[in-house]
Chain A
Amino acid sequence: MVLVFAEREGNSFKKSAYEAVSYGRDLAESLGTTCVAAVIGRVENAGQLGRYGAHAVVEHTGAGTDVFEPAVYTAALDEIAKSQNCDVVVLSGSYTGKILAPKLAARNKAALVTGVVELPDMSSGFTVRKSCYSNKAFTTVQLNAPNKVLSIIPNSYSIKEFPGEATLTQLSTDLSGSSMTQSLEIDKQAGKVPLTEAEVVVSGGRGLKGPENWGMIEEMAELLGAATACSKPVSDMEWRPHSEHVGQTGITIKPNLYIAIGISGAIQHLAGVGGSKVICVINTDPEAPFFKAADYGIVGDAFDVVPKLINRLKEINA
């Protein structure tokens, strides 16, 4: 059976959870088996995961599961997987998934592939494609163990809708004794679209000349329902927070639309955003390497071009 970890944020599921569940359902169908979703901690209406492809949901609400803790969550996920006899486990490659996938694989001597970008191919053994060389290439990996753990890059699989609700089972073993780290404080900007989940990203570089000029980037992002990002120099100069830095040493993103403003497109930046489905580049330098990786380009000054884009967006929204 295929088990999918459905990550929650407070009382509700993250978008990446629905994506992982839809991926798990399609994988289960190609393996001729069922898809079970694993929920750790309490959530409103866990049965709704049926609408995204889960046949069944197992909710673990034992003591210790309120707040994410690596050892506790690994134990909970492992208990759910064993209770359902699951041999393939799917997780989203969120910051939580980046911890749980390797830990769970290590416990079960499973074949582990992280950074997965599509459904596995079962025509000769069990192979799956993953991103490598920081988005500069892909590799097809053969999984040679009976237990398998796959972690998929957020935004690489479409959410699908299915009829019906899933059956719900509860587990409640006390896991508080497994805890090894203590959470002291969480610093999160409420209401903002997380970069890795955003479908549209507006990103600014050194061409914007200073942090005081980000107003128009934020305005455009708001009109598009987009998240904001920045290049490495911008985060190094502390014009923008480190959490917005996309690129090889920053966050890797895969939005449907990436709009780069005043970013030249160094190979290290492309490594973090090259997986975007459509790329628009606005730069004063017609020789900027980013134009070679772009679908649409405007050679021009950001201070002239961006207000025009904002005006057009306002006209459309009006």
Chain B
Amino acid sequence: MRSKFSYFCTTLTEKKRDMKILVCVSAVPDTTTKITFTENNTKFNSSGVQFIINPYDELALTRALELTEQQGGEVHIITVGDASVEPIMRKALAIGAASAIRVDAQANDGMEVAMEIAAYAGDKGYDLIMAGRESIDFNGGQVGPILSELLGYALVNIATKVDIENGRVLATRDIDGGREKVSCTMPCVVTAQKDLCEPRIPNMRGIMQARTKPLQVIPATVSSGSTAYASFELPEAKGAVKLIDAAEAGKLIDLLREEKKLI
């Protein structure tokens, strides 16, 4: 009986093992930024713009930290960019990541970013690689799915819930018109959607510690991407709004029928 009981205890403890999680973060203009372009509409005008951690990446980071707090383990962050992204990396360290890696490259597209991250992460034995569902600047939604393909890992894309149970990933993801519950083994790539968790505000202790946490810079390995942003443009300005008196609100329906042929 005793041996059976101790066997039962070991399997229980074995199921809880330290996790190694890599979170991909990118720097994006703050969500309230008024977007403008320079150099004949070929470059984003970054003057006076506040850069933040991409909000979806921040959710991925927070959930990664929660998972390592439950399961044990460590969260590392990786970003692809020049030295100007280091302030947001320090912020990620202040939120709780243990160390940071910056691939020193100006990537052209999501494919290039993902290839750089895959080249770094391939032999590091991460259980989970997490990222935001998309960046709020280029809205590509490419890095997570490409990483899963390049590394041959399972993928849970646009996840609103992620848990680890008995060494497996249990997650919920958005699908058209609903949600799907899925389960998969690790290693796995998970991309974060709103609802995954509440973002964390770094505390003073975290901010102090972040200054001395390791931030490693590694050289780029990918030559160049296969796409290039040729030009940018702002949407055409809308004409003046046509106001309808609230007392005759029903007229709106007639205007939509007659002027726009919509109803």
| Residues of chain A having any CB pair with chain B under 8 Å | 9, 14, 70-71, 74, 94-96, 98-99, 101-103, 105-107, 109-115, 127, 131-145, 180-189, 192, 194-197, 200, 224, 242-243, 245, 248-250, 252, 256-257, 267-268, 271, 274, 278-282, 291-301, 304-305, 308-309, 311-313, 315-316
Other-chain contact of A114, B142, B231, B245 (Cβ < 8 Å): B142
B180 contacts which chain A residues (CB < 8 A)? 183-187
Of B37, B178, B257, most A-chain CB atoms within 10 Å: B178
0/1 per residue, B135-156, Cβ < 8 Å to A?
0111111101110111001111
Of B111, B145, B185, B230, most A-chain CB atoms within 10 Å: B145
Q: Which of B10-18, B89-97, B122-130, B248-256 interfaces with chain A?
A: B248-256
- Give the contacts of B151-167 with A (CB-CB under 8 A): 153-158, 160
- Give the contacts of B22-72 with A (CB-CB under 8 A): 29, 31-32, 35, 37, 55-56
**Would A187 and B179 be within 8 Å (CB), given that A109-B226, A141-B227, A309-B252 are in contact?**
yes
- The reply to whether B183 and A182 form a contact with Cβ atoms under 8 Å apart is yes
The residue on A at minimum CB distance from B234 is A137
- Give the contacts of B215-263 with A (CB-CB under 8 A): 226-235, 238-239, 241-246, 249-250, 252-257, 260, 262-263
The residue on A at minimum CB distance from B246 is A300
B207 within 8 A of A: no
A123 to chain B, nearest CB (A): 12
Q: List 6 A-B contacts (CB under 8 A).
A: A70-B148, A136-B234, A180-B184, A184-B180, A257-B262, A295-B241
A14 to chain B, nearest CB (A): 7
The residue on A at minimum CB distance from B238 is A293
**Would A112 and B232 be within 8 Å (CB), given that A102-B145, A278-B260, A296-B256 are in contact?**
no
Q: Which of B73-81, B99-107, B169-177 interfaces with chain A?
A: B169-177
A88 to chain B, nearest CB (A): 13
- The reply to whether B246 and A274 form a contact with Cβ atoms under 8 Å apart is no
The residue on B at minimum CB distance from A256 is B262
- The reply to whether A299 and B243 form a contact with Cβ atoms under 8 Å apart is yes
- The reply to whether A242 and B160 form a contact with Cβ atoms under 8 Å apart is yes
- The reply to whether B249 and A308 form a contact with Cβ atoms under 8 Å apart is yes
- The reply to whether A105 and B256 form a contact with Cβ atoms under 8 Å apart is no
Alpha-carbon distance A197/B243, docked complex (angstroms) = 28
A190 to chain B, nearest CB (A): 9
A305 contacts which chain B residues (CB < 8 A)? 246, 249
- The reply to whether A188 and B55 form a contact with Cβ atoms under 8 Å apart is no
A184 contacts which chain B residues (CB < 8 A)? 180-183
14 more CB-based (< 8 A) A-B contacts, given A257-B263, A281-B241: A70-B145, A111-B227, A112-B111, A134-B31, A138-B234, A139-B229, A180-B185, A181-B183, A183-B182, A242-B195, A278-B262, A293-B238, A294-B241, A297-B241
The residue on B at minimum CB distance from A200 is B262
**Would A106 and B174 be within 8 Å (CB), given that A281-B241, A296-B241, A297-B241 are in contact?**
no
Tally B residues with Cβ within 8 Å of A: 75
- The reply to whether B232 and A137 form a contact with Cβ atoms under 8 Å apart is yes
- The reply to whether A197 and B176 form a contact with Cβ atoms under 8 Å apart is yes
The residue on A at minimum CB distance from B145 is A102
The residue on B at minimum CB distance from A92 is B176
Other-chain contact of A243, B178, B232, B238 (Cβ < 8 Å): B178
- The reply to whether B229 and A140 form a contact with Cβ atoms under 8 Å apart is yes
- The reply to whether B177 and A195 form a contact with Cβ atoms under 8 Å apart is yes
- The reply to whether A132 and B138 form a contact with Cβ atoms under 8 Å apart is yes
Top 6 nearest A-B pairs by Cβ distance?
A: A300-B246, A188-B178, A312-B250, A194-B177, A102-B145, A180-B154
- The reply to whether A187 and B156 form a contact with Cβ atoms under 8 Å apart is no
- The reply to whether B177 and A140 form a contact with Cβ atoms under 8 Å apart is no
- The reply to whether A95 and B250 form a contact with Cβ atoms under 8 Å apart is no
The residue on A at minimum CB distance from B189 is A70
Alpha-carbon distance A144/B252, docked complex (angstroms) = 48
A188 contacts which chain B residues (CB < 8 A)? 175, 177-179
B56 to chain A, nearest CB (A): 8
B210 contacts which chain A residues (CB < 8 A)? none
The residue on B at minimum CB distance from A114 is B140
- The reply to whether A186 and B178 form a contact with Cβ atoms under 8 Å apart is yes
- The reply to whether A96 and B244 form a contact with Cβ atoms under 8 Å apart is no
Alpha-carbon distance A271/B28, docked complex (angstroms) = 15
- The reply to whether A99 and B195 form a contact with Cβ atoms under 8 Å apart is no
B21 within 8 A of A: no
The residue on B at minimum CB distance from A145 is B226
The residue on B at minimum CB distance from A249 is B194
- The reply to whether B157 and A70 form a contact with Cβ atoms under 8 Å apart is yes
Other-chain contact of A185, B142, B181, B238 (Cβ < 8 Å): B181
- The reply to whether B257 and A144 form a contact with Cβ atoms under 8 Å apart is no
B213 to chain A, nearest CB (A): 28
- The reply to whether A140 and B230 form a contact with Cβ atoms under 8 Å apart is yes
- The reply to whether A143 and B145 form a contact with Cβ atoms under 8 Å apart is no
The residue on B at minimum CB distance from A286 is B243
- The reply to whether A298 and B249 form a contact with Cβ atoms under 8 Å apart is yes
**Would A133 and B35 be within 8 Å (CB), given that A145-B226, A180-B184 are in contact?**
yes
Alpha-carbon distance A106/B140, docked complex (angstroms) = 14
